[in-house]
A = this chain, B = another copy of it.
Protein backbone atom coordinates (compact mmCIF):
# COMPACT_ATOMS: atom_id res chain seq x y z
CA UNK A 1 0.00 0.00 0.00
CA UNK A 2 1.61 3.23 -1.19
CA UNK A 3 0.04 6.37 0.19
CA UNK A 4 1.49 9.71 1.22
CA UNK A 5 1.43 8.94 4.93
CA UNK A 6 3.79 8.22 7.78
CA UNK A 7 1.83 5.97 10.11
CA UNK A 8 -1.81 4.91 10.05
CA UNK A 9 -2.15 6.24 13.60
CA UNK A 10 -1.02 9.78 12.77
CA UNK A 11 -2.27 10.30 9.24
CA UNK A 12 -5.58 11.97 10.08
CA UNK A 13 -3.98 14.41 12.51
CA UNK A 14 -1.14 15.26 10.12
CA UNK A 15 -3.51 15.81 7.22
CA UNK A 16 -5.72 17.99 9.39
CA UNK A 17 -2.69 20.02 10.48
CA UNK A 18 -1.79 20.57 6.84
CA UNK A 19 -5.33 21.59 6.02
CA UNK A 20 -5.52 24.17 8.81
CA UNK A 21 -2.10 25.57 7.89
CA UNK A 22 -3.03 25.85 4.23
CA UNK A 23 -6.33 27.60 4.91
CA UNK A 24 -5.72 29.67 8.01
CA UNK A 25 -7.53 32.61 6.45
CA UNK A 26 -10.77 30.62 6.87
CA UNK A 27 -10.27 28.19 9.74
CA UNK A 28 -8.66 27.57 13.11
CA UNK A 29 -8.58 24.55 15.38
CA UNK A 30 -11.16 24.58 18.13
CA UNK A 31 -10.37 23.88 21.78
CA UNK A 32 -8.01 20.93 22.26
CA UNK A 33 -7.94 20.48 18.49
CA UNK A 34 -11.18 18.51 18.72
CA UNK A 35 -12.69 20.22 15.69
CA UNK A 36 -12.03 22.81 13.01
CA UNK A 37 -14.02 26.00 13.20
CA UNK A 38 -14.55 29.14 11.24
CA UNK A 39 -11.94 31.73 12.10
CA UNK A 40 -14.48 34.54 12.52
CA UNK A 41 -17.70 33.36 14.15
CA UNK A 42 -20.72 35.64 13.73
CA UNK A 43 -22.56 36.65 16.91
CA UNK A 44 -26.27 35.83 16.75
CA UNK A 45 -26.04 33.59 13.68
CA UNK A 46 -27.21 29.97 13.91
CA UNK A 47 -24.11 27.77 13.95
CA UNK A 48 -24.08 25.08 11.26
CA UNK A 49 -22.02 22.13 12.49
CA UNK A 50 -21.20 18.94 10.66
CA UNK A 51 -18.66 16.16 10.84
CA UNK A 52 -17.97 12.54 10.14
CA UNK A 53 -15.16 10.13 9.57
CA UNK A 54 -11.90 11.19 7.93
CA UNK A 55 -11.17 9.97 4.42
CA UNK A 56 -13.81 12.10 2.69
CA UNK A 57 -11.81 15.33 2.38
CA UNK A 58 -12.53 18.09 1.58
CA UNK A 59 -15.86 17.09 3.18
CA UNK A 60 -16.51 18.51 5.79
CA UNK A 61 -13.49 20.61 6.84
CA UNK A 62 -13.21 22.16 3.39
CA UNK A 63 -16.68 23.65 3.82
CA UNK A 64 -15.92 25.57 7.01
CA UNK A 65 -16.11 29.31 6.46
CA UNK A 66 -18.41 32.13 5.50
CA UNK A 67 -21.68 30.94 3.97
CA UNK A 68 -21.34 27.27 4.84
CA UNK A 69 -20.21 25.55 8.07
CA UNK A 70 -19.16 27.07 11.38
CA UNK A 71 -17.46 23.92 12.62
CA UNK A 72 -16.59 20.41 11.45
CA UNK A 73 -15.64 17.44 13.65
CA UNK A 74 -13.35 14.80 12.16
CA UNK A 75 -13.23 11.20 13.38
CA UNK A 76 -10.72 8.52 12.51
CA UNK A 77 -10.81 7.12 8.97
CA UNK A 78 -14.43 6.19 8.15
CA UNK A 79 -15.33 6.51 11.85
CA UNK A 80 -17.71 8.94 13.50
CA UNK A 81 -16.32 11.76 15.64
CA UNK A 82 -16.95 11.27 19.35
CA UNK A 83 -19.78 13.01 21.24
CA UNK A 84 -17.08 14.85 23.15
CA UNK A 85 -15.75 16.41 19.95
CA UNK A 86 -19.22 17.43 18.86
CA UNK A 87 -20.08 18.95 22.24
CA UNK A 88 -16.85 20.95 22.03
CA UNK A 89 -17.87 22.30 18.64
CA UNK A 90 -21.36 23.21 19.88
CA UNK A 91 -19.96 25.04 22.88
CA UNK A 92 -17.53 27.08 20.85
CA UNK A 93 -19.59 27.74 17.72
CA UNK A 94 -22.93 28.65 19.29
CA UNK A 95 -22.96 32.43 19.44
CA UNK A 96 -26.47 32.71 20.81
CA UNK A 97 -28.86 31.61 18.07
CA UNK A 98 -28.44 27.87 18.53
CA UNK A 99 -26.89 25.11 16.44
CA UNK A 100 -28.00 23.04 13.49
CA UNK A 101 -26.20 19.71 13.30
CA UNK A 102 -25.96 18.33 9.76
CA UNK A 103 -25.39 14.59 9.92
CA UNK A 104 -24.94 12.01 7.21
CA UNK A 105 -27.19 9.00 7.71
CA UNK A 106 -24.91 6.36 9.24
CA UNK A 107 -25.60 4.62 12.52
CA UNK A 108 -22.41 5.78 14.20
CA UNK A 109 -22.71 9.40 13.10
CA UNK A 110 -26.39 9.64 14.01
CA UNK A 111 -25.79 8.04 17.42
CA UNK A 112 -22.85 10.26 18.36
CA UNK A 113 -24.43 13.48 17.14
CA UNK A 114 -27.65 12.61 19.01
CA UNK A 115 -25.69 11.88 22.15
CA UNK A 116 -23.84 15.19 21.84
CA UNK A 117 -27.08 17.07 21.25
CA UNK A 118 -28.50 15.53 24.41
CA UNK A 119 -25.38 16.33 26.43
CA UNK A 120 -25.44 19.98 25.31
CA UNK A 121 -29.19 20.50 25.25
CA UNK A 122 -29.46 22.14 28.64
CA UNK A 123 -27.18 24.98 27.56
CA UNK A 124 -27.87 25.24 23.79
CA UNK A 125 -30.79 25.24 21.37
CA UNK A 126 -30.02 22.38 19.01
CA UNK A 127 -31.70 20.91 15.96
CA UNK A 128 -30.48 18.07 13.79
CA UNK A 129 -30.78 17.37 10.08
CA UNK A 130 -30.08 13.92 8.66
CA UNK A 131 -28.82 13.84 5.06
CA UNK A 132 -29.81 10.72 3.15
CA UNK A 133 -29.40 11.32 -0.55
CA UNK A 134 -27.99 7.97 -1.69
CA UNK A 135 -30.24 6.08 -4.08
CA UNK A 136 -28.57 2.78 -3.56
CA UNK A 137 -29.32 2.08 0.08
CA UNK A 138 -33.02 2.76 -0.44
CA UNK A 139 -33.10 -0.48 -2.37
CA UNK A 140 -31.47 -2.71 0.19
CA UNK A 141 -34.39 -2.25 2.57
CA UNK A 142 -32.34 -2.96 5.65
CA UNK A 143 -34.41 -0.45 7.57
CA UNK A 144 -31.63 2.12 7.87
CA UNK A 145 -32.77 4.24 4.97
CA UNK A 146 -30.56 6.03 2.52
CA UNK A 147 -26.96 6.87 3.30
CA UNK A 148 -25.74 10.42 3.23
CA UNK A 149 -23.18 10.91 0.46
CA UNK A 150 -22.17 13.71 -1.93
CA UNK A 151 -25.53 15.48 -1.76
CA UNK A 152 -24.43 16.57 1.71
CA UNK A 153 -22.29 19.22 0.01
CA UNK A 154 -25.39 20.84 -1.48
CA UNK A 155 -27.40 20.63 1.74
CA UNK A 156 -24.55 22.17 3.76
CA UNK A 157 -24.08 24.95 1.23
CA UNK A 158 -27.75 25.95 1.17
CA UNK A 159 -28.19 25.76 4.94
CA UNK A 160 -24.96 27.67 5.45
CA UNK A 161 -26.05 30.37 3.03
CA UNK A 162 -29.46 30.69 4.69
CA UNK A 163 -27.92 30.90 8.17
CA UNK A 164 -25.53 33.57 6.95
CA UNK A 165 -28.52 35.61 5.80
CA UNK A 166 -29.98 35.39 9.30
CA UNK A 167 -32.45 32.53 9.00
CA UNK A 168 -33.52 31.22 12.42
CA UNK A 169 -33.12 27.65 13.63
CA UNK A 170 -36.71 26.40 13.03
CA UNK A 171 -36.74 27.83 9.49
CA UNK A 172 -33.38 26.20 8.73
CA UNK A 173 -34.68 22.85 9.93
CA UNK A 174 -37.76 23.29 7.70
CA UNK A 175 -35.60 24.26 4.71
CA UNK A 176 -33.59 21.06 5.11
CA UNK A 177 -36.72 18.95 5.34
CA UNK A 178 -38.16 20.57 2.25
CA UNK A 179 -34.93 20.17 0.27
CA UNK A 180 -34.20 16.60 1.26
CA UNK A 181 -36.40 14.67 -1.26
CA UNK A 182 -35.01 16.76 -4.12
CA UNK A 183 -31.35 15.77 -3.68
CA UNK A 184 -30.33 12.31 -4.85
CA UNK A 185 -26.97 10.67 -5.59
CA UNK A 186 -25.58 7.42 -6.90
CA UNK A 187 -21.97 6.25 -7.14
CA UNK A 188 -19.80 3.82 -9.08
CA UNK A 189 -16.32 2.51 -8.35
CA UNK A 190 -13.58 1.27 -10.65
CA UNK A 191 -11.46 0.21 -7.67
CA UNK A 192 -11.98 -0.49 -3.99
CA UNK A 193 -10.07 1.42 -1.33
CA UNK A 194 -7.38 0.32 1.04
CA UNK A 195 -8.02 1.38 4.61
CA UNK A 196 -4.64 2.31 6.16
CA UNK A 197 -5.24 0.73 9.56
CA UNK A 198 -6.15 -2.66 8.20
CA UNK A 199 -4.14 -2.45 4.96
CA UNK A 200 -7.06 -4.33 3.46
CA UNK A 201 -9.07 -3.38 0.43
CA UNK A 202 -12.76 -2.98 1.25
CA UNK A 203 -13.70 -4.85 -1.91
CA UNK A 204 -11.54 -6.01 -4.77
CA UNK A 205 -12.43 -5.54 -8.41
CA UNK A 206 -10.96 -7.36 -11.36
CA UNK A 207 -9.28 -5.43 -14.18
CA UNK A 208 -12.55 -5.26 -16.15
CA UNK A 209 -15.07 -4.98 -13.32
CA UNK A 210 -16.92 -2.04 -11.84
CA UNK A 211 -19.09 -1.80 -8.74
CA UNK A 212 -22.42 0.00 -9.17
CA UNK A 213 -24.03 1.76 -6.23
CA UNK A 214 -21.04 2.10 -3.90
CA UNK A 215 -21.00 4.18 -0.76
CA UNK A 216 -18.21 6.45 0.41
CA UNK A 217 -16.77 4.04 2.99
CA UNK A 218 -15.95 1.27 0.59
CA UNK A 219 -19.40 -0.27 1.00
CA UNK A 220 -19.97 -2.54 -1.99
CA UNK A 221 -22.84 -1.69 -4.30
CA UNK A 222 -25.75 -3.77 -5.51
CA UNK A 223 -24.13 -5.12 -8.62
CA UNK A 224 -20.75 -5.98 -10.03
CA UNK A 225 -20.71 -5.40 -13.76
CA UNK A 226 -18.21 -5.64 -16.57
CA UNK A 227 -16.60 -2.30 -17.39
CA UNK A 228 -18.26 -0.89 -20.46
CA UNK A 229 -18.18 2.73 -21.63
CA UNK A 230 -18.46 5.96 -19.69
CA UNK A 231 -21.70 6.64 -21.56
CA UNK A 232 -23.29 3.39 -20.40
CA UNK A 233 -22.15 3.82 -16.80
CA UNK A 234 -23.00 7.50 -16.44
CA UNK A 235 -26.33 7.15 -18.24
CA UNK A 236 -27.32 4.48 -15.74
CA UNK A 237 -26.39 6.69 -12.78
CA UNK A 238 -28.10 9.70 -14.34
CA UNK A 239 -31.29 7.82 -15.16
CA UNK A 240 -31.51 6.42 -11.65
CA UNK A 241 -31.17 9.76 -9.87
CA UNK A 242 -33.37 11.49 -12.47
CA UNK A 243 -36.26 9.09 -11.90
CA UNK A 244 -36.27 9.89 -8.19
CA UNK A 245 -36.38 13.67 -8.36
CA UNK A 246 -37.50 14.74 -11.82
CA UNK A 247 -41.22 15.39 -11.40
CA UNK A 248 -40.69 18.15 -8.89
CA UNK A 249 -39.52 21.05 -11.05
CA UNK A 250 -37.34 21.89 -14.00
CA UNK A 251 -34.27 23.76 -12.76
CA UNK A 252 -31.47 21.67 -11.38
CA UNK A 253 -27.95 21.59 -10.10
CA UNK A 254 -25.88 18.74 -11.52
CA UNK A 255 -22.90 17.60 -9.47
CA UNK A 256 -20.31 15.06 -10.58
CA UNK A 257 -18.23 14.17 -7.55
CA UNK A 258 -14.85 12.48 -7.73
CA UNK A 259 -14.24 9.76 -5.14
CA UNK A 260 -10.54 10.57 -4.71
CA UNK A 261 -8.57 8.76 -7.41
CA UNK A 262 -10.37 9.95 -10.54
CA UNK A 263 -8.82 12.93 -12.33
CA UNK A 264 -10.64 16.10 -13.43
CA UNK A 265 -10.58 15.17 -17.14
CA UNK A 266 -12.61 12.01 -16.51
CA UNK A 267 -15.03 13.84 -14.22
CA UNK A 268 -15.69 16.40 -16.95
CA UNK A 269 -16.28 13.66 -19.49
CA UNK A 270 -18.79 12.09 -17.10
CA UNK A 271 -20.40 15.49 -16.53
CA UNK A 272 -20.85 15.82 -20.28
CA UNK A 273 -22.80 12.55 -20.47
CA UNK A 274 -24.88 13.31 -17.37
CA UNK A 275 -25.65 16.80 -18.64
CA UNK A 276 -26.80 15.44 -21.99
CA UNK A 277 -29.04 12.90 -20.29
CA UNK A 278 -30.67 15.50 -18.07
CA UNK A 279 -31.28 18.05 -20.81
CA UNK A 280 -32.56 15.33 -23.16
CA UNK A 281 -35.10 14.56 -20.45
CA UNK A 282 -36.34 18.11 -20.09
CA UNK A 283 -34.33 19.34 -17.12
CA UNK A 284 -32.57 22.67 -17.23
CA UNK A 285 -29.14 22.37 -15.65
CA UNK A 286 -28.61 25.87 -14.32
CA UNK A 287 -25.79 25.22 -11.86
CA UNK A 288 -22.95 22.73 -11.86
CA UNK A 289 -20.27 21.35 -9.62
CA UNK A 290 -17.50 19.04 -10.81
CA UNK A 291 -14.61 17.82 -8.67
CA UNK A 292 -13.52 15.76 -5.68
CA UNK A 293 -15.70 17.15 -2.88
CA UNK A 294 -16.82 14.01 -0.99
CA UNK A 295 -14.10 11.44 -1.46
CA UNK A 296 -13.51 7.90 -0.29
CA UNK A 297 -9.76 7.84 0.28
CA UNK A 298 -8.16 7.15 -3.10
CA UNK A 299 -11.06 5.28 -4.68
CA UNK A 300 -11.26 5.53 -8.44
CA UNK A 301 -14.88 6.31 -9.05
CA UNK A 302 -17.46 9.03 -9.04
CA UNK A 303 -21.01 9.82 -8.11
CA UNK A 304 -23.73 11.79 -9.86
CA UNK A 305 -25.91 14.05 -7.72
CA UNK A 306 -29.01 15.77 -9.02
CA UNK A 307 -30.65 18.52 -6.97
CA UNK A 308 -33.87 20.18 -8.07
CA UNK A 309 -33.71 23.71 -6.69
CA UNK A 310 -36.23 26.51 -6.29
CA UNK A 311 -35.44 30.09 -7.28
CA UNK A 312 -34.82 30.90 -3.61
CA UNK A 313 -32.44 27.98 -3.28
CA UNK A 314 -30.57 29.04 -6.42
CA UNK A 315 -30.07 32.47 -4.86
CA UNK A 316 -28.74 30.80 -1.72
CA UNK A 317 -26.36 28.70 -3.82
CA UNK A 318 -25.07 31.85 -5.55
CA UNK A 319 -24.60 33.90 -2.40
CA UNK A 320 -21.06 34.53 -1.16
CA UNK A 321 -19.12 31.55 0.15
CA UNK A 322 -15.51 31.54 1.35
CA UNK A 323 -14.23 28.10 2.31
CA UNK A 324 -11.26 26.01 1.26
CA UNK A 325 -13.28 23.96 -1.19
CA UNK A 326 -16.06 26.27 -2.37
CA UNK A 327 -15.40 29.93 -2.86
CA UNK A 328 -17.16 32.65 -4.78
CA UNK A 329 -18.68 36.08 -4.35
CA UNK A 330 -16.09 37.16 -1.79
A-side residues, CB < 8 A to B, are 2-6, 11-12, 14-19, 21-23, 54-55, 57-58, 62, 190-191, 207-208, 210, 227, 229-231, 233-234, 260-273, 275, 285, 288-290, 292, 295, 297-298, 300, 302, 322, 327-330
Q: How far is the CA of A233 from the CA of B298 in the complex (A)?
A: 19
A119 to chain B, nearest CB (A): 29
Question: How many copies of this chain sit in the oligomeric assembly?
Answer: 2
Q: Is the pair B4, A230 in contact by a Cβ cutoff of 8 Å?
A: yes
Residues of B within 8 A of A275 (CB): 18, 21-22
Contacts of A272 in B (CB 8 A): 14-15, 17-18, 21
| Contact call B292/A263, Cβ cutoff below 8 A | yes
Complex alpha-carbon distance, A313 and B3, angstroms: 34
Inter-chain contact A4/B302, CB cutoff 8 Å: yes
Q: State the CA gap A229–B5 with chains docked (Å).
A: 6
Shortest Cβ gap from A301 to chain B (Å): 9
Find out whether the CB atom of B11 lies under 8 angstroms from the CB atom of A269: yes
**With A21-B288, A264-B292, A327-B327 in contact, do A4 and B270 touch (Cβ < 8 Å)?**
yes
